[in-house]
Structure 1
Amino acid sequence: MAQGSRLPAEARRRQIIEAAARLVLEQGYPPLAPGRIAEAVGVSKALIYGYFPDQHALFNALLAREFAALDAAGLEAASQATTLDAAALGCAELYFRHVCDHGPVIHVVLRDIFMARRLDPGLAAVRDRVVRRLARLVRRELHLPPDEAVAAITLATTIPEDAGRLVWQGDLAPESGLELCRRLTAAAILALRPD
């Protein structure tokens, strides 16, 4: 079906979200000019606004898509592992593979001040549930205070994110990226273990 032709509402919505994902990765930050999105989809700006009244709604929908893909891949289950090593390595591998396949969309959107206070509460709850589980393991096994546990998780997230980004960009072979991700995640945990 040609761009701009009549699509069912859900298909058009997915098309707009996909275009926004490509464009935000290309640009490196939100927001996007509505005209760019409309041009990429082959529709009018008015149609874009008909689906997403503002860019916060669009980027929340994009994050919802990304979080759903991570959930389908097993992130929730990986975060429920009983040891820090198993949980951290499982989550890191899943996130690495996601970034390899989809690019660092989550990072670009969540780290931007444009979205900082406009993240959908349901999406924040999903993110925070996984972080809380990992933080409990960090506190229990590494004996870090709560704020340092969350900081450690935030910093450790950059390992699969950057390794995946390098694979996604074509700068690193997938097998090498995965091995690097595993080794650096394990090393980060080991470096924080009490002597």
Structure 2
Amino acid sequence: MILDEAADIICREGVANLSLERIGQSAGVSKSLVYNYFDSLLGLLKELLDRELKAQRRQQFEAAEAATTFEELIRNITHAYLTYIEERGLIIERLQAEPSVSGIHDPTDYGRSVAVDYLAPMVAKHFNLPMDLARAATDISFGLPSAAGHYLLRREMPLEEIEDLTVSMILGSITQFQADYLARHRKLDR
């Protein structure tokens, strides 16, 4: 309840004028109750950001688990990410803009190594790539949804179009990487 109220205030007004007292008043709870859960505003903001990023990753993982094809895998993960950014991205963006709250400035960086560890073996197997190259391609491809999320927040294109564009770019880059990179770097057979 306290974190939800803080998120609402951050969406409406940003972080600059936020205080534990103000959050408590807005949530209809006493100042002492807020301090019982959070010893500082910074602690509350860090916990809120962590909650938001965990929820985002959880939704992406659930979406990935539901996929039966590689395209579905990419589409499901991308859709989950962009939908979350559309609904909660402003909170994440404002919290990550505060250096004392977050050392990362991109939602795709949260839990990234775990996500890459989960996806890279699928990329390696599906595209018959060496694991080190599949890992690199997977990690680098995280930049596309991140850019798509920023673009979505600027409201220049509907979510569905951005999703289609992003999925096409991810699939195209990995497919082309498999065809082009390996062929160009393979030793000549003389």
TM-score under structure 1 length normalisation: 0.61
Task: Find 1:37's aligned residue among 6, 10, 18.
Answer: 18
| Residue 142 of structure 2 corresponds to residue 139 of structure 1 | no
Task: Find 2:82's aligned residue among 96, 105, 115.
Answer: 96
2:55 corresponds to which letter in structure 1? A
TM-score under structure 2 length normalisation: 0.62
Cα deviation for residue 192 of structure 1 reads 2.1
What residue in structure 1 maps to residue 188 of structure 2? none
Task: Find 1:86's aligned residue among 42, 50, 72.
Answer: 72
> Where does the alignment leave 5 or more consecutive residues of structure 1 unmatched?
1-10, 27-31, 118-123
Taking the aligned partners of 2:24 and 2:122, their CA distance within structure 1 comes to 48
Cα deviation for residue 135 of structure 1 reads 1.7
> More displaced, 171-180 or 98-107?
98-107
If you compute each CA radius of gyration, which structure gives the higher value, 1 or 2?
2
| Residue 176 of structure 2 corresponds to residue 191 of structure 1 | yes
Tell me how many residue pairs correspond in the alignment: 165
Q: Is the CA contact 2:141–2:170 (under 8 Å) kept in the aligned structure 1?
A: yes
Aligned CA distance change for structure 1 residues 153 and 59 (closer, same or farther; 3 Å) = farther
Q: Is the CA contact 1:83–1:137 (under 8 Å) kept in the aligned structure 2?
A: no
Classify the secondary structure of the residue corresponding to 1:193. helix
Classify the secondary structure of the residue corresponding to 2:18. helix
Cα deviation for residue 87 of structure 1 reads 2.1
Deviations 1:136-189 (A, max 9, x none): 21233352444x544433332222232233222222222321221221122122
RMSD (Å), alpha carbons: 3.8
Aligned CA distance change for structure 1 residues 100 and 50 (closer, same or farther; 3 Å) = same
Cα deviation for residue 190 of structure 1 reads 1.3
Percentage of pairs with the same residue: 19
Deviations 1:79-134 (A, max 9, x none): 334654432232122112221222265577679875349xxxxxx7x655433210
